[in-house]
Chain A
Amino acid sequence: MKRGNQWVVAALLTALALTAGGCATGMELIPVATIAAKGVTKAAAASRPISDSEEYYVGRAVGARILAQQSLRQDPELTRYVNEVGQAVARKSARPQTFRGYHFAVLETSETNALACPGGLIFITRGLLQTCETEDELAAVLAHEVAHVANKDGINSISQARWTEVLTAMGTEAAKQYGGVAGSLVSLFEGSIDDVFKTIVVNGYSRTAEEAADAAAVQTLKQAGYDPGAVASLLDKMMAKEKGASGGMFKTHPPTGERLSKVKALVGEAPAAGKEVAARTSRFKKIKI
């Protein structure tokens, strides 16, 4: 009998201890101090890709840096239209969703360019919008930029060495001040923003990344019901405009004959222009750019 009582009491105490532990910590099963201490070695050893939320914060900071130099076009009707076209292609892309979704905006500059920040902030300049003659060509630009986000071309500019340092710093900082703002992480974040900014604004993507984004844009336009030939017609216009031009898109997304012929081969027979194309072109013309 006595042994039985002890068993019952022990079981109850164990259950209560577990319950109390859960209540006291609220969320954590492993004590914070233990994680922090182990973090030093674990994080240094761990190798993980950048997460969706981290990509989002990098993209926001890159966007904030771009918007420190360029102003936004303040036209609700134009902004809504560009976002409608953008969402129509993004949902048919290889990456229909991101951490906080795709958002499109127009930069108030005559320079011809489009920029994709990691995570889905996409900018098109007024100059490039004016180069587009149809909604399908605008869709081609946006599908190409969505492809850079989907392929993580911007975020992949963060050097592997820097990312390894981030993982190491996470452990070190966790040991010092778990949950606090980590100074070295801010510096590494700053460096990562520089890496991405240099690629998407200054130096441009690799030729391989550009061709992959073209191919993805052709595929996305087909999936969305847009004319995939718009990628080729836009490249044609860009090449014609390139004469004498050097900055902006001509530097970051250089239109070349090789790109054009590869796109034309992918498109194949373009569908004949129907009533729908006319409807799209008509609504495009109504938008004041």
Chain B
Amino acid sequence: MMPISASLPASLFVVLIPLAAAVSAYLLRRWRSLESLAALIGCGLVIALLSQPATTTIPVPGLPIEVGGRLDLLGRTLTVQESDRLPLVVVLASALVVLGLSWRLPQGRLFAPLGLVILSLVCAGIMIRPFVFAALAFEAAAAMAAVLIQAERMGPLSTVGAQRYLVLSSLALPAFLGAGYVIGQALNVTEPALQSAAYQPAALLLALGFALLAGAVPLYTWTHAVANQASPLVTAFLATVVTGAVTFLFLEFKQQFDWFRGSPDVREAINLFGVTTLLLGGVIAWAQRSWGRILACCLSVDLGVVLLMLNHETPASVEAVAFAIAARGLSLGVFGAGLSALRSYTGTDDFARLRGAGRRYPLAALAIALGAFSIAGLPGTVGFVVRWLNVRVLSETDLEVMMIMLLAGVSIGWGVLRGLFSLLAEPLEEEGNAARAPSFLSRGASASLLLGSVVVVMLGLAPGLLAGLARAIASAYTFYR
């Protein structure tokens, strides 16, 4: 008989509630409002559960829930540790934002159900120990993500983004499995002088695995193909929820393993990946001719900067990482929502073919502009706070990289301005009066776009809520002390 304790661990619910919500959302997919409601309730319940400290027992009648309780599954452990709790909240809240934005901006029949399954898997990936199983969870999430990226699109070459995402996530798997084995062997090494050498391959394998999962290696990987092909909110979801979870897993590794934190090779590798990803996004952003590509460049720049922040061991850098993930959900979510509205009407996101569309859909244009400018770091948006935190960290250590980051922001801004000029330009004569007539999105879609845009600006002007959360996340880690 398996021993069952009097209370149940919260980790069980963190995995099961999104899965149950996914099933509900799938069954309710004909009724979009109910589907979205099921998804939001699922995320909200888990956030409420995790808002309690890890030492708390929640007195649910007949079913007390221990937030920090352990769940042993097939000999592995799932636990909500104190350092994992708030990162999980950020991941779930980001999913909540993106799923909420999709309420009136449909992203495909499977968006909510599959998104929730992915959410459940990445949450399991953050909580599971030993970490080798996190790699398996992320691989399973990647398989689901491939279906999500593809959605209902058909045709040759339409599967490139999904294929790349799946293949690159699969390539990360052996790196994690190999690292797990090397760590197991290195534990047998007792001589302190030999230990660092024993752990060295594991550190490098982990760095490579993280870089692959984050889309930094090889350059120009899934990010651009996915941003071009997938629904914009799907891109935002993957970039925020999955990549955010990977980022927090990286921080957890730094917290747990001294050899990983202290490895100069890992530091150099992550620095190289970060700078090149940032450079790639910055160099090509200004010249793009479609919003999908601008979205991809925004993603590259943001991922690059987060990788650079992960290389620092200061409270400010961890705060910047946590803030960046939360802000990315908002910025990319609002950008994606606006782009989704435009794409669904016009069937394109090319600047040239969207000429004048911003006049007909001003709210969509506003959401795109604010979301993209926020990633670029425009003052008055939530992204500016992220860049400010980044500058605080980089100005003390690496002025060149700081300048590259700022210039990458300018490059994105330039690309966004080009797109906006096209959106707001006078429609061409041959398109007739229909292209000039004002048109209106549905109330729900308009409200989503407007609310998202307002939140991006409000959190830019008063970032206290997110800053408090980021500070709390940073204080839960001790590796920089």
Do A and B truly interact?
A: no
B→A interface (CB under 8 Å): none
A→B interface (CB under 8 Å): none
